[in-house]
Amino acid sequence: MSSSTETDYKFEGWAGLTADACKGEMSFQSFEPKKWDEDDVDVRIQYCGICGSDVSALSGEWGPVDKVAPQICGHEIVGEVVKVGKAVENDLKVGDIVGIGAQSDSCRECESCKNGEENFCTKQTITFNAPYNRGSAASAGSVSRGGFAKYWRGPSRFAISVPSTMDPASAAPLFCGGVTVFSPLSEYGAGTTAKNVGVIGIGGLGHFAVQFASKMGAEVTAISRGENKKEDAIKLGATKYIATGGDVKRGIEGHQRSLDLIICTINPEELPIHDYLPLLRPHGYFILVGVVPKPLAIPAFSLILANIKVGGSNIGSPAIIRKMLDFAAAHDIGTKKSPSKYIQKYNMNDINKALPDFRDGKPRFRFVLVNTDNGGKL
Amino acid sequence: MSSSTETDYKFEGWAGLTADACKGEMSFQSFEPKKWDEDDVDVRIQYCGICGSDVSALSGEWGPVDKVAPQICGHEIVGEVVKVGKAVENDLKVGDIVGIGAQSDSCRECESCKNGEENFCTKQTITFNAPYNRGSAASAGSVSRGGFAKYWRGPSRFAISVPSTMDPASAAPLFCGGVTVFSPLSEYGAGTTAKNVGVIGIGGLGHFAVQFASKMGAEVTAISRGENKKEDAIKLGATKYIATGGDVKRGIEGHQRSLDLIICTINPEELPIHDYLPLLRPHGYFILVGVVPKPLAIPAFSLILANIKVGGSNIGSPAIIRKMLDFAAAHDIGTKKSPSKYIQKYNMNDINKALPDFRDGKPRFRFVLVNTDNGGKL
């Protein structure tokens, strides 16, 4: 009972086979998609953002690359629905433009799934290199395949419609990078209870955070190492800019107790978190969205003194993604009328140039790969 | 224009002079009280609780004892007002029963003071061994003197009326120990948004936390090392009890993601905080109220995974103390009708027995010193 306008597509993509994948060694090849379940959709991929964790996985930071090869990464996917199962969710139809973020499945049975917070499900499947734990895909041992490919197949619950006014290329990086910062800004009241918001790191997720927080009505302080992101940060909506010059303790002088919420988008080997905490007002939140490798070292006293909280935030549920897209559409963030100036596009065929550039720190903000033969526009 | 029924009192108390003070070396002597300001009150002390930080200060953990000697500690004070200045606050009158907690003054000018959150004032004065920064006391170099004494003098804003239905001896330890846990229970929604509350450590502040949280309508899980506090924890209102046996990771098995809020009242040299975090549901809070000496080591991942927060909480403002006392009175916690079964009284003249007993870990819950000659009842 599936409906489809196109049936002769093949699942092919750019696979990482060794830890040299990001050095220009991605290999175009066919792959086994998820075993079909009737709540699935197939999507013709037009755009896929590159996110730090793709590069981490493909570089062997998450374990030997060849053990889970071929790795089809990419988890900021936007494309057109070409097939829907008879148990499709989200009212999806063939021809719809949808996006898929970092999560592709969840158990549907736990408290979190039932609450519509699938991103906390302990049996979830992330969008690349992970086993499916549900349905025929589980029994078949299907592994999730991401968006560095021509087609994507997965559970329709995690394929979210892109509003028609949105620019699909600009929307792609919102599905992981965007929602990862939108979620805590929303949870901790940016613009309402948190009038003053700080954003640490502006180049990657940070630029979304500055944009969203300012549109939510917050006064935004952008915090970066150097001065080179200042002009962009102000354009994005920040009203203050702190350049720490690498010495956080000194850099924040004069700004103590000025912020209600800090979103930390950087993840250096070791984060001098203690030096940032004096920026917070009493009751303030310091929220990490990137996995800092070394454990945070936090003196209890620095939390107790002014009821400070240090926390983390994990992507966003389908419901939060939907909320973010509606917010972006309503506030003209990445719409067709004003597409993002903060993405740099590469033809997906040039992935072996794009990934090395990404690894070398070349993206000032966000990279998006484009499948021109699937209708994506450079 | 001060009014007073009693004028011939002397400021005398038990002073710590060396780091051996708590070994039975407290010395009864007269001391210089705060220089009088017209917003002050004098209080005839009837009861004073013993709290961990008194013993820390008197044992030299906060710096050499003799440098700030004579140390008149004690910061869970209850007594009768005997003199009020003409600029008295809180509508206090001679004869009123009031209490004073860990804080005795604040600047009145900062954002926190103006918001009624004096406990976050960076120029605050704690109740013992600290300089006053305001009024004639500041110019005179007055140092705060606590409750191990016959009389207390200080700013009336920090002397809070004890409701007439409360048992004054039971009320004393609420002024620091009680409010320190009441405040975060209240801030993080115990019984409302936080249906399931865990309390780590039951002997000291923990017993207040179990009592308050259960009366707020939460399901309370008491978490302790051994089984010896189980019966009391259940009587205090806990419905679950976890004895970790010193191995937290193993002890919490089967209880993962069962709690919305954890109040941690213990402060060992090093806290295995990472092992406790799996107890929390998504969005949960782990709140410390005791200064753990070694910095907390927290893997970022353990916070990010389920939007977990680790925070601290710092005593409570006069407004929160008032709210707590009203709550205690309304829920029959330490009232004249049901005085606390969890305090052990010593005549204050026996302080050189009480402090060594406290240091030796003898209090099952809370110690209260009694000035029988000032109307305190053993």
pLDDT digits (tens, 9 = 90+) for B334-353: 999 999 999 999 999 999 99
Per-residue confidence band for A209, with pLDDT thresholds at 50, 70 and 90? very high
Is the pLDDT at A3 greater than 80? The verdict is no
Query: Distance (Å, rounded) from C-alpha A343 to C-alpha A278?
Result: 33
Whether residues B300 and A291 touch (CB distance < 8 A) is answered with yes
Burial of A57 (0-12, 13-18, 19+ CB in 10 A): buried
Tokens of A353: 């140039």
From B24's Cα to the closest Cα of chain A, the distance in A is 30
Per-residue confidence band for B177, with pLDDT thresholds at 50, 70 and 90? very high
**Residue % of chain B over a pLDDT of 70:** 98
Is the pLDDT at B3 greater than 80? The verdict is no
Tokens of B160: 């809070």
Per-residue confidence band for A5, with pLDDT thresholds at 50, 70 and 90? low
Q: ipTM of this predicted complex?
A: 0.95
Query: Distance (Å, rounded) from C-alpha B184 to C-alpha B206?
Result: 12
| Same domain? B172 vs B105 | yes
Note whether residue B320 is domain-resident. no
Whether residues B285 and A309 touch (CB distance < 8 A) is answered with yes
Whether A182 contacts A327, CB under 8 Å? yes
Chain B residues near residue A53 by CB distance under 8 angstroms: none
Whether residues A292 and B300 touch (CB distance < 8 A) is answered with yes
Query: Distance (Å, rounded) from C-alpha A332 to C-alpha A211?
Result: 10
Is the pLDDT at B1 greater than 70? The verdict is no
| Same domain? B298 vs B341 | no
Answer whether A111 touches B (CB < 8 Å).
Answer: yes
CATH number of the domain encompassing residue A285: 3.40.50.720
**Residue % of chain A over a pLDDT of 70:** 98
Contacts with A67 (C-beta within 8 Å, 6 or more apart), sequence order: none
Answer whether A306 touches B (CB < 8 Å).
Answer: yes
| Same domain? A305 vs A261 | yes
Is the pLDDT at A325 greater than 70? The verdict is yes
Residue position matching structure tokens 């090869």: A69
Note whether residue A143 is domain-resident. yes
Answer whether A311 touches B (CB < 8 Å).
Answer: yes
Residue B23: Cβ within 10 Å count: 14
CATH number of the domain encompassing residue A129: 3.90.180.10
CA-CA distances (angstroms) from residue A40 to A122, B259, B302? Answer: 21, 35, 31
Query: Distance (Å, rounded) from C-alpha B178 to C-alpha B207?
Result: 9
Number of A to B CB contacts under 8 A, please give it. 113
pLDDT at position A130 is: 97
Is the pLDDT at A22 greater than 70? The verdict is yes
From B287's Cα to the closest Cα of chain A, the distance in A is 8
pLDDT at position A212 is: 98
Whether residues B300 and A306 touch (CB distance < 8 A) is answered with no
Mean pLDDT for the stretch of residues B78-90: 97
Residue position matching structure tokens 């990657």: A204
Residue of B nearest to A120 (CA): B306
Query: Distance (Å, rounded) from C-alpha A75 to C-alpha A173?
Result: 9
| Same domain? B143 vs B210 | no
| Same domain? B273 vs B200 | yes
Answer whether A74 touches B (CB < 8 Å).
Answer: no
| Same domain? A51 vs A61 | yes
Chain B residues near residue A291 by CB distance under 8 angstroms: 300-301, 304
Closest CA to A167 of A11, A12, A345: A345
| Same domain? B194 vs B167 | no
Torsion of CA A289, A290, A295, A296, to 10 degrees: -50
Query: Distance (Å, rounded) from C-alpha B273 to C-alpha B302?
Result: 10
Note whether residue A157 is domain-resident. yes
Contacts with B122 (C-beta within 8 Å, 6 or more apart), sequence order: B107, B110, B112
The DSSP line for A285-322 is EEEE-S--SSPEEE-HHHHHTTT-EEEE-----HHHHH
pLDDT at position A291 is: 87
Instruction: Tell me which H or E stretch contains B326.
Output: helix B318-330
Phi-psi region of A24 (alpha: psi -120 to 50; beta: other; left: phi over 0): left
Is the pLDDT at A368 greater than 90? The verdict is yes
Answer whether B311 touches A (CB < 8 Å).
Answer: yes
| Same domain? B58 vs B185 | no
| Cα A368–Cα A372–Cα A378 angle in degrees, nearest 5 | 50
pLDDT at position B201 is: 96
Note whether residue A327 is domain-resident. no
CA A33 to chain centre: 22
Note whether residue B318 is domain-resident. no
Per-residue confidence band for B192, with pLDDT thresholds at 50, 70 and 90? very high
Query: Distance (Å, rounded) from C-alpha B124 to C-alpha A305?
Result: 12
B187 CB-side CA count, 13 A: 28
| Same domain? A40 vs A157 | yes
Note whether residue B332 is domain-resident. no
Whether B65 contacts B27, CB under 8 Å? no
User: Chain A interface, mutation test: which of B122, B181, B314, B320, most A Cβ atoms within 10 Å?
Assistant: B314
Whether residues B300 and A281 touch (CB distance < 8 A) is answered with no
| Same domain? B250 vs B342 | no
Note whether residue A320 is domain-resident. no
Chain B residues near residue A303 by CB distance under 8 angstroms: 288, 310-312
- Of B285, B288, B300, nearest to A304 by CB-CB distance is B288
Per-residue confidence band for A6, with pLDDT thresholds at 50, 70 and 90? low
Is the pLDDT at A83 greater than 60? The verdict is yes
Per-residue confidence band for B362, with pLDDT thresholds at 50, 70 and 90? confident
Query: Distance (Å, rounded) from C-alpha B183 to C-alpha B188?
Result: 9
Whether B205 contacts B180, CB under 8 Å? yes
Query: Distance (Å, rounded) from C-alpha B65 to C-alpha B69?
Result: 6
pLDDT at position A87 is: 98
Closest CA to B193 of B215, B176, B218, B214: B218
Per-residue confidence band for B246, with pLDDT thresholds at 50, 70 and 90? confident
- Of A290, A304, A313, nearest to B307 by CB-CB distance is A313
Check the CA dihedral A346-A347-A351-A353 and report its sign: negative
The total number of structural domains that make up chain A: 2
| Same domain? A110 vs A250 | no
Chain B residues near residue A281 by CB distance under 8 angstroms: 111
Residue of B nearest to A317 (CA): B306
Whether residues A297 and B300 touch (CB distance < 8 A) is answered with no
Residue B353: Cβ within 10 Å count: 12
From B121's Cα to the closest Cα of chain A, the distance in A is 9
User: Chain B interface, mutation test: which of A258, A266, A303, A317, most B Cβ atoms within 10 Å?
Assistant: A303
pLDDT digits (tens, 9 = 90+) for A332-359: 999 999 999 999 999 999 999 999 999 9
Note whether residue B323 is domain-resident. no
Answer whether B305 touches A (CB < 8 Å).
Answer: yes
B215 CB-side CA count, 13 A: 20
Query: Distance (Å, rounded) from C-alpha B135 to C-alpha B112?
Result: 19
| Same domain? B56 vs B119 | yes
User: Chain A interface, mutation test: which of B200, B302, B313, most A Cβ atoms within 10 Å?
Assistant: B313
- Of A111, A282, A314, nearest to B304 by CB-CB distance is A314
Q: What is the CA radius of gyration of chain B?
A: 20
Say how many residues make up chain A.
Answer: 378
pLDDT at position B97 is: 98
Whether residues B300 and A288 touch (CB distance < 8 A) is answered with yes
Mean pLDDT for the stretch of residues B116-128: 97
From B267's Cα to the closest Cα of chain A, the distance in A is 10
Mean pLDDT for the stretch of residues B259-288: 96
User: Chain B interface, mutation test: which of A115, A123, A310, A317, most B Cβ atoms within 10 Å?
Assistant: A310
pLDDT at position B361 is: 83
Whether residues A309 and B305 touch (CB distance < 8 A) is answered with no
Amino acid identity of residue A150, one-letter, is K
pLDDT at position B2 is: 47
Mean pLDDT, all residues of chain A: 96
N-terminal to C-terminal alpha carbon distance within chain A: 36
Name beta bridge partners: A79.
A45, A98
| Cα A161–Cα A162–Cα A167 angle in degrees, nearest 5 | 165
Tokens of B294: 């070694």
Query: Distance (Å, rounded) from C-alpha A305 to C-alpha B121?
Result: 10
pLDDT digits (tens, 9 = 90+) for A198-208: 999 998 899 99
Query: Distance (Å, rounded) from C-alpha B357 to C-alpha A10?
Result: 78
Answer whether A78 touches B (CB < 8 Å).
Answer: no
User: Chain B interface, mutation test: which of A115, A314, A320, most B Cβ atoms within 10 Å?
Assistant: A314
Domain that holds residue B258: 177-312
CA-CA distances (angstroms) from residue A160 to A77, A93, A103, A326, B16? Answer: 10, 12, 11, 11, 68
Is the pLDDT at B7 greater than 80? The verdict is no
Q: H helices of chain A, where?
A: 52-58, 111-114, 135-139, 168-171, 177-187, 205-215, 230-236, 248-251, 273-276, 300-304, 318-330, 351-359
pLDDT at position B98 is: 98
Instruction: Tell me which H or E stretch contains B320.
Output: helix B318-330
Answer whether A69 touches B (CB < 8 Å).
Answer: no
Name beta bridge partners: A166.
A335
Query: Distance (Å, rounded) from C-alpha B343 to C-alpha B170?
Result: 7
Higher pLDDT residue, B312 or B68? B312
Query: Distance (Å, rounded) from C-alpha B50 to C-alpha B349?
Result: 14
Query: Distance (Å, rounded) from C-alpha B148 to C-alpha B301?
Result: 46
Per-residue confidence band for A94, with pLDDT thresholds at 50, 70 and 90? very high
Closest CA to A51 of A317, A270, A359, A294: A359
Mean pLDDT for the stretch of residues A371-376: 97
pLDDT digits (tens, 9 = 90+) for B287-304: 999 888 899 999 999 999
**Among candidate residues B296, B312, B328, the one where a domain is terminated:** B312
Closest CA to A146 of A351, A313, A312: A351
